[in-house]
Structure 1
């Protein structure tokens, strides 16, 4: 009997060694898989639900276990190895070579796969663990059967003392291990019971900013002048609910509340002083965005939006470090080419297709906000509404990006703006009004034929971005708009045309002073009318220049502070207007 216990104890290290090697292999493969499958934000939509698998029926478990037993025991494959060199994929340089050799030579308790491999880096399944344990137990039985029990006596005192000593020596480790397993099971059950959703992830962003305008403003929309607009403290809060059903798609529902009154015509006499994150709904919570994106082929993706999406939210703008309203340029104009704003936060459909690894084509159709959901009526009192009968903006962009360091884009937009005759029909407000330059240039550039003239445009944009070094990025764009009056009004006639230009150059220094920080500069000309067949205006007899500087300082991974200032020289493209300065201290929180 003592020999039985002793032989059992001698083979026990074989089991322990097998488990140690398998667990290390499992851990190594797990880390490799996690590292290899980390998605990037630009190329994939992360799966938010945990991976789940169905548990096979009991009969399937037994059949699979028998199959593994059969394979590992050599009935359908290779027999027990007598030397570790019999494994084709095990080399003397492997870190576990000595342990494998000891298991084979000392205990004879190690078998491989039918193809003569050991597959040491492969994860250990529960079936393979059971099959390996069964092989070791069979070896124990064989050792016991071959070892005679002298004298037929029982267990000796020395055997019992050895077993007791080993038990006491490892009691603490075994107890600790069991406690850790129990704690992990409890924590896993707690998380599963209280998780927000298995398919939806909540992402939040809060912007709090103190801002002020300096300098003598020109005539405002009310005909008054405003000197040194009083400083304001405002906010913008966004909660994104990102849902994935397949792991490659994403349904985004955005809740938003904000109260940043734009520094526009009513306050400063020009839209050129607008901040990049402005907008005011008096902090009422609204569904600001509802969109769904999904792949149709490995090279094609579809983006559908019911509300709240601009082209810049979907299509690459070639100004990667300055395009974000929360962490990029502090001004509205400095973020990207105004051509991407023609969709006016409305409903849209976009096809993004990769012609090759370097070339992509984007096609889009968009309707301004609060227009697509209003059907066309038979009366002339409310024209220009609905998905296909009203205002729209159709876009095509060809993007050439041979690497992450170089990008070139050619963009074209065909748009039609037909504002409702009532400035506020059914709650439309200012949305739907003529805005050829998307509220970034002079009033003349936004409404070259007046506020009540239907207008069509052909807009052309060229964008480029060059990462000259890891810490030096130059980007820029040039835009040309050919506007045409689509109706007769008091100041315009059908077919009247106007030419509008804008350009900008941006410079970004990432990791300036600290990793994650960005020092940025912008210089450009906001949209300006260079020719108009209808009329010339005093506010377009000069040239405005936009000069901006900001520094984004990352306090933590979730908190950023951005002081910045920009100046508008000759506002409204009028040499008689004094320079305006806009300063802000923007703090961004993410969670």
Structure 2
């Protein structure tokens, strides 16, 4: 006759000691997910049992106990107390959670019970092999065999899956790139063309821009030595050239692409980003970096969710407030978390930090070095709420020996060819209105002082409104609209050589793009940029820039 008491006893045992098999599976899964090759994602629907078991593993973390009294939520007057005590004394198989609880009221699924039963069988086999079979009664063995027959299918599935996982784990560990470093890559193909009045020559009405096909390749190594720090080493090769709208004076900056970056002749490769960050304590993180791609955007929160150059905005201006672009390509940043809602970002960057000499030919002297060359010092306070909405207040003090160097907006707003000191102020925000819609933008103001020959002060303003539509159409897609005014010279205190007192008019930057995610590794992003009155001069006709960007990630 089937003994219900012993059935319950072994059922309780299975629940308690399921930790061993769960941890075994979890460890294998963790190793594979950390170093997963593409084929790891392919699983048979008939073996979804592993996912069901892992659901419990995520919540657990059980640890063995030596006495039932160690479990804080089990009392001597509990109806299952004697059964639990018997498991400890007779079989030595009992498990609890790290916080010394048993959670006896927790429901289990059939597959989890099978996992516990499998561990119980292993424990009994160990007792038999150790010559301690006398503590196992004949009735218990009969009950255990009965359970083994009832759960034969589940046990076979579990054992097969665990064996396969451990084989795959061994294979991944034997062929992984590095135990401390992860290799990723990115390839961008871009088709670009410009249309409109500003894309034709002044004479002959001839199209000044041909359709182009260009590319950028990046290989990136992310290394961690402690699990909390990160060393980034990035190599890049690019031949992307941004369109430069023809204006009444010279080619402008307003149509520069977000993914345009430093290039070498013949698509040569260079080390364009080297950065190391680590936590000082739980609330402070320090970052140091160098390279052509290193900027304030790598060390401070710039708030704009459309900023990603390979999968977000298609324009340089649309990435973030241009006041972040001052300074150089080498620096340090500190991120300080004051509480769960407020943090402070501090940063310092310099140009030509590796050069100890003086560069001739620059008015007033071409200083170099970490503290004597172009520099920018930034301080910022960011407030964020539980809905991931943010607002930031930013201040940047900078010195540049060749204009402001933001590389956007009108030519006059860059104050090129002059030594300039400046103070810039910005407000940036992004607000999650709903799950599928975010509203953001920024305002930036720069108070600049020209220091060469004829001196004078200059005011430069810019603003933008951003609309983000995450998961538009399907998960992983992104729609974006950016409307703004790129940096504009709004006034000077004196007549500076070769500069107007102010830009003639106010041109608009109107941009729309849609990133369509084909899969986890391929995105296609068509987009349009409409520039009214390029160079902030209504004598220049509008220009429309069309881009189709395809991004491969691996």
- TM-score for the superposition, normalised by structure 1: 0.71
* Alignment counterpart, residue 503 of structure 1, candidates 444, 453, 463: 463
Q: Distance in 1 between matches of 2:35 and 2:192?
A: 37
The answer to whether the 8 A contact 1:525-1:546 is kept is yes
Q: Distance in 2 between matches of 1:188 and 1:336?
A: 42
Deviations along 1:393-416, one digit per CA (max 9) or x if unpaired, are 111111111333421111111111
Q: 2:260 matched to which residue of 1?
A: 278
SS in 1 for 2:318: coil
Distance verdict in 2 for CA 1:132–1:298, change over 3 Å: farther
TM-fit CA distance, 1:264: 2.6
1:369-408 to 2 correspondence within 5 Å?
371-377=352-358, 383-408=366-391
Q: 1:329 matched to which residue of 2?
A: 313
Q: 2:410 matched to which residue of 1?
A: 442
TM-fit CA distance, 1:119: 7.0
The answer to whether the 8 A contact 2:490-2:502 is kept is no
Q: 1:315 matched to which residue of 2?
A: 300
TM-fit CA distance, 1:487: 2.7
The answer to whether the 8 A contact 1:241-1:252 is kept is yes
The answer to whether the 8 A contact 2:381-2:393 is kept is yes
Q: Distance in 2 between matches of 1:373 and 1:361?
A: 28
Distance verdict in 2 for CA 1:21–1:139, change over 3 Å: farther
Residue 534 (1) aligns with residue 495 (2): yes
TM-fit CA distance, 1:441: 0.7
Q: RMSD across aligned C-alpha pairs, in angstroms?
A: 4.9
Distance verdict in 2 for CA 1:89–1:283, change over 3 Å: farther
SS in 2 for 1:519: strand
TM-fit CA distance, 1:20: 4.0
TM-fit CA distance, 1:184: 4.5
TM-fit CA distance, 1:463: 0.8
TM-fit CA distance, 1:201: 0.7
Q: 1:43 matched to which residue of 2?
A: none
Question: How many aligned positions are there?
Answer: 497
The answer to whether the 8 A contact 1:103-1:109 is kept is no
Q: 1:187 matched to which residue of 2?
A: 168
Distance verdict in 2 for CA 1:192–1:17, change over 3 Å: same
The answer to whether the 8 A contact 1:217-1:225 is kept is no
The answer to whether the 8 A contact 1:218-1:577 is kept is no
Distance verdict in 2 for CA 1:47–1:561, change over 3 Å: closer
Q: 1:299 matched to which residue of 2?
A: 283
TM-fit CA distance, 1:478: 0.7
Residue 229 (1) aligns with residue 209 (2): yes
Q: 1:88 matched to which residue of 2?
A: 75
TM-fit CA distance, 1:47: 8.7
The answer to whether the 8 A contact 2:285-2:334 is kept is yes
SS in 2 for 1:213: strand
The answer to whether the 8 A contact 2:531-2:544 is kept is yes
Q: 1:590 matched to which residue of 2?
A: 553
Q: 1:82 matched to which residue of 2?
A: none
SS in 2 for 1:272: coil
Q: 2:134 matched to which residue of 1?
A: 141
- TM-score for the superposition, normalised by structure 2: 0.75
1:48-447 to 2 correspondence within 5 Å?
71=66, 87-88=74-75, 134=127, 140-141=133-134, 183-217=164-198, 227-264=207-244, 269-279=251-261, 280-281=263-264, 282-307=266-291, 308-320=293-305, 322-344=306-328, 346-368=329-351, 371-377=352-358, 383-418=366-401, 434-436=402-404, 438-447=406-415
Runs of 5+ consecutive residues of structure 2 not aligned to the other structure: 1-5, 37-63, 107-114, 140-144
SS in 2 for 1:190: helix
The answer to whether the 8 A contact 1:277-1:326 is kept is yes
SS in 2 for 1:217: helix
Q: Distance in 1 between matches of 2:20 and 2:102?
A: 14
Q: Distance in 1 between matches of 2:77 and 2:481?
A: 58
Deviations along 1:244-274, one digit per CA (max 9) or x if unpaired, are 0111110000111111112236798211011
